[in-house]
Amino acid sequence: MAKYQGGCLCGTVRYSADAAPINERICHCRLCQRAIGGAFNARVLFRIEDVTIEGQWASVNTSPDLKRGFCPNCGTTMFSRRDSAGIIGVTTGSLDDPSLFRPQMHIFTASKQAWVQIDDGLPQYEAGPPA
């Protein structure tokens, strides 16, 4: 099993997870676009208890049930955490080895950028992932 490790640009915040991911997906929603500052948020989901975070990080609620974690020093967004579901997503850009990312689906494609062409053969969902 791969060990997922990563952190922020300046090294203040580090995280790791030894567990297998719950899901790996690419989100095209407008909240993710704004939070990441890009066209989409590619992330690996884990159970909260499977991720160890070291260093001081800050968070902002971007929706009633979702907190995004970032480094207060350099601003790197690393997490999206949904306590009610017990899950935390880590951004693939913050992984030490982003080649570990194996996306399984695209979600919220109804709000994807018009110039993004999805032709990887993965399932696409106009809204959230199936239950």
Q: What is the pLDDT of residues 16-36, one digit of tens each?
A: 999 999 999 999 999 999 999
Q: Which two tokens stand for residue 107?
A: 């979600």
Give CA–CA dist 3/97, Å, rounded. Answer: 10
Collapsed DSSP state (helix, strand, coil) of residue 49: helix
131 — pLDDT class (breaks 50, 70, 90): confident
Give CA–CA dist 4/130, Å, rounded. Answer: 25
Helix (H) or strand (E) holding 54: strand 51-54
Provide the pLDDT for residue 130.
85
The whole-model pTM stands at 0.92
Residues 48 and 83: beta-carbon distance below 8 Å: yes
pLDDT tens-digit readout, 78-123 = 999 999 999 999 999 999 999 999 999 999 999 999 999 999 999 9
CATH entry, 4-111, from 3.40.605.10, 3.40.50.410, 3.90.1590.10, 3.20.20.60: 3.90.1590.10
Give CA–CA dist 1/83, Å, rounded. Answer: 25
Domain ranges of the chain: 4-111
Provide the pLDDT for residue 2.
56
Q: What are the Cα distances from residue 71, in Å, to 10, 37, 39, 84, 94? A: 8, 15, 21, 23, 11
